Chains A and B, each alone.
Chain A
Amino acid sequence: MARIEVPMPQMGESIAEGTVSKWLKAVGDDVARDEPLLEISTDKVDAEIPAPSAGTLAQIVVAEGQTVEVGTVVAWIETEKGAVAQPPASDAAVAAPAAVRAEASPPPPAPAAAGAAAPVTAEERLRQKSTPLVRRIAAEHEVDIGAVAGTGHAGRVTKQDILSFLERREQAVEPVPAPPRPAPAAAPVPVGIDDFWATFYGQVRHPEFAVRAGDRVEPMDRIRRLTADHMVRAKRVAPHVHSFIEVDFTRVDRVRAASRARWDQQGVKVSYTAFVAWAVARLLREFPMVNATVSGESLVFRADVNVGIAVDLNPGLIVPVVRNADELNLLGIARRIGDLAQRARDRKLKPEEIQGATFSITNPGVLGTLVGMPIIPEGTAAILGTGAIEKRTVVVEADGGDAIAIRKRSFFSLGYDHRIVDGADAARFLARLKELIERFPEDA
C-alpha cells in the first residue's frame, strides 16, 4: 500500500501560495488519475487540481478556506484500496488542521465534500444571510427564515422582521384581528428607473448650472457623489452649531518626547491625532449626548465608542472607524489609526471599516488651517476639528506675575447637532477635552 502526497501546485512562477477553495472529493472517495480533486484560488484565479495518481482520497490535510505555500501537502491518496491508514507520525503537525476541521464540521446533513449540499439559488443565499441574532431567534421559535419577508438590506430578514413575523404568528392563533403592520422604515419603492436612481442616491437633487465654453464637464464618480449627497443631507437636517477652544500641547509634546524611543522600538508612530482620539474616546463616556444621534422621534445613545478619523485621499475623503476606541490605550489607538489610514490610502479598506462611527475627528490643521467648521456626519451628534498645532506667544503666570511664553497651541472646533447637544454640553465637553490634553497622563 502506498501513500501519495498531493502538494499545493506551483501554478505560476510568481505564485507562492494558494487557497484551497473547494474539495471536489471527500475522504474515502475513489479518484482516477488526473480527475479533478480540488479547486484552489490565487490572485483572481480559480484552478482545478487533478489527482496525481489513481486511488482513494485517504486524508484531507488542508481545509477549505486555508491558504498554504506552494509545495505544502494538501492531501494524501492511498494507491490501493483498504482501510484509511493513520498518517505517519512525522505528519502529525501538518495533519492538525484536518483533525480540527473534522471536529468542527457540523453533523450530517452537511458533509464537507462539495456537491452534496442542497442547491441554493443566489436569491436564497442573500436571504439566508441574516445576522446571528436573527438566526438564533429563528431557531428558538422554529421559524424557517426563508418564510419571513425580509425588509432589510438586499431583502435580508432583520430582527424587526422576525419579531413581527412571530407576533403575527401568535396573533393568528388567537381570534383577534392583527393590527396593520407598520410600514418598514425603508424608502418607498420608486416607480420608474429614473426615480430609482434618484432614490438610490438619497433623493438629493443637485441644481444644474450653465456650462461655459472651455469648461471641462466630468460626471461625479461614486465616492464624490456619495460624499456630495451625504454632505447635503447632513447639513440640511442637523442644525449645526460650532464652538471653539484653544488647547495647549506643551504637555503632549513632553509625553511624546519621553516615550518616542520606546514607541520607535515598537514600530508605532504616535501622532497628535492619536492623543486627541484617546482623550475624546475617554470623554465620550462622560457625555452620552455627544455619543448619540437623533433618530425619528427618538434619541439613540450609542453603546459603543467608535471614533471615525477623516483621511484625505487627495482627491476624496474617507472616514475609517476606530471601533471601541475607549477600550484601547494610546499605543493601541495610534497603531489602529496608522493601519486604517494606510489602508485607506491604498484603497484596501473593507466596507465595514468605514461604517458605524459614533463620533468623528477631522484634522484640517495638518495642512496648516487655523480652525475648521466641519459638517457633522449623518447619524452622529458631533465632530471635532483640530486646527494647526503651532508655536504661539501666550501670557502665562510665572512667579506670581504675568509673563510672555512660547507655547505649542491649537484651536479645536466642535460641530454639534443642536437638537441633541446643548451649547453648555458642548462647552463642558471642550473644557474637559482641553483639561485632559493639557494634563495628559503618562500612562495613557
Chain B
Amino acid sequence: MLAIITTNLLRRSARTLFTALGIAVGVATIVALLSFTQGLKETAAGFVHLGGSELGVFQANVSDPTASLLPESLVGRLDARPEVAQATPLLLIVEGVKAESSAIVFGADPAGFFTHNLVLTGGRRPLAGGREVLVGDRLAAQLHLLPGALLLIEGHSYRVAGIYHAGILFEDSGAVLALTQAQQLTGRPAEVTDIVVQLSPGTRAKSAARSIERVFPGTQAITDPQQALRAGANSTLISKAILVIVMIALIVGAISVANTMAMSIMERQGEIALLSTVGWSPARVASLIFGEGVAVSVLGAGVGLLLGVIGGGLLVGALGVSTYVSPSVTAWGLGRGLLVGVAIGVLGGIYPAWRVTRMTPLKALSST
C-alpha cells in the first residue's frame, strides 16, 4: 500500500510538490509565529524582572505595559508595605533614541536599586544634575559609543558617562537617565511608567502581588512573563491573531488538499474502478486516497517546519524588534506545526476518501 501511495504521488510530482508547498507555507507561518511569541515571552521575562526586581507594578488595563502611567507618589506608599523591601520608579521612553529606535531609555532614580544594580564596565556613574547618561553595553556596541561620546535622546544630546552590563536584554540594549531628567524630557513630571519591587525575605511574589493590587486599586502587579503577556491588550491580540491564523491555515490547507485529491479522483476513476474490480474493498481504496492526502501533508509539514524556523528570524527582522525578541523554537512549537500539517491531511483526505466509497465501478469504468 505504501509503495502504491509513494508511486502515485511521484507520478504527479508537480501537483504533489505544489500541494505540499501550500501546506508548507501554512505550517511555516504557524511555526514562525509560535517561535516569535515564545521569544516574546522570554523577552517579557526580562521586562518583568528589570533591575533584578521580583515584581513590577503597572497601571491596570493598558494596551501595553509600556503605556502604563502611575503617580510617582505611589513609590513611597509601596515602600511602606511590609511585604516590600525596596521599591523604585521607572519611566520608560520608547523610541527615544533615533539612532536605534528599538532602544528603551529608562528614567530611574539614581538612588534606587535599579541604578545601583548596574555593573559598570567603563566610565563612571553620572554626576548629579549633569546632562549625562549611562548606556547599556549592547547599545554601546551597536552605536559604537564610548564614555564621553554624545547620545541623542528625544532630540537632546546627553554625554555618555559610563557603559553598564545588567544581564537583562532590555536594559543592556537601552540607556539609563536620571528619573527627573526623563520626566522633563517627556513632559510628565511626577509620573512614572512602573514601579519595580524587591520583596521582603520570605514573601511569596504571588501573594504580594494580590495584596498590592487590593490595596492600590487600578494597579496590576506582574510577577511572571505569562502574566506580562496577558496583561497587555496588544499581547492578547497577538495571541488571538495567531489562533485565527492557525485556524485559517487549517481550513485553507484542508480545502486545498481536499480539492487536489478530489481532482485526482476524477482523473483516476478508471484506476479506482479497477481496484474495486480486482477485489479491493471500498475501505481499502478509501485508505489509499486518504493515505495520499496525509502523505502530501506530512511532506508539506516537514518542509514547513524548516521554513518556519528560518521564517521566525525573518519575521523578527521585518518587524524591527530583533533587539529584544529572539525567535525561540521549542519542541512543542514544532509539534504544533506538525500537528496542524497532519490535521490538514486528515481533514482534507476525509471527503475524497468518502467519495471513493460512493463510486460504483461500472460507472467509473464506462467513463474512462
Q: Do A and B bind each other?
A: no
Residues on A lying within 8 angstroms of B by beta carbon are none
B residues neighboring A (CB under 8 Å): none
